Amino acid sequence: MRMFLEHVRAHSPGKPETARRYEQVLEHFQRHLGNKKYAEAITRAHIDDYKIKRSQELSERHGRRIAPRTINFEVSTLRTFFYYLINERGIPMTNPCAHFKPLKDEKNKAHRKPPTYSQKELDLLFAACDDFEKTVFAALLLTGLRKRELYYLAWIDVDLGKQTILVTPKPEEG
């Protein structure tokens, strides 16, 4: 493990967070499968067991179960680790993470393409709105701004000449 982490640090010197996160993943993995002395002894079944065990654990930071996307990231990191052993260290083995099936993540649904509305649906929506609501919905629809981005939009962010809107982070609350 140490050689892999040194390899990551050497090849990604500007990404210390990546090395730190990889180290955490390897620590979790070793905690669950520490009885295996040789990497070659780890099988696809061990990786599946690891995913199941991790999904039942609580996050130390948040106090809730480990999210599927976190476990998928961890298995992806393990896949990188095993490829390092195979390709850089010449260990003759099959990568047990090579074709892993990602866990389904309900939150990932939020990142899917938003629904599109027919002109009839839009006409019904706008017909039920007052002038202010029409303005808000039209701005959201035509610009792609999120609700909070529109909420914090100021005239200084709008350049009518260039037909641009500058989207800035939420102002610091003081």
Residue 91 pLDDT class (50, 70, 90 cuts): very high
For the question of whether the overall pTM of this predicted structure is more than 0.85, the answer is no
Tell me the CA distances in angstroms from 21 to 24, 26, 72, 77, 117, one per residue in order. Answer: 5, 9, 13, 9, 41
- Which of 78-82, 103-107, 108-112, 150-154 is predicted with the least confidence, judged by mean pLDDT? 108-112
Task: List pLDDT tens digits, range 151-165.
Answer: 888 899 999 999 999
Task: List pLDDT tens digits, range 22-46.
Answer: 999 999 998 888 766 788 889 999 9
Long-range contacts of 148-154 (CB under 8 A, 24+ apart): none
Mean pLDDT score across all residues of the chain = 87
Characterise 163 by phi-psi region: left (phi > 0), alpha (psi -120 to 50), beta (else): left
In the predicted structure, residue 107 carries a pLDDT above the cut 70: no
CA 93: distance to chain centroid?
A: 29
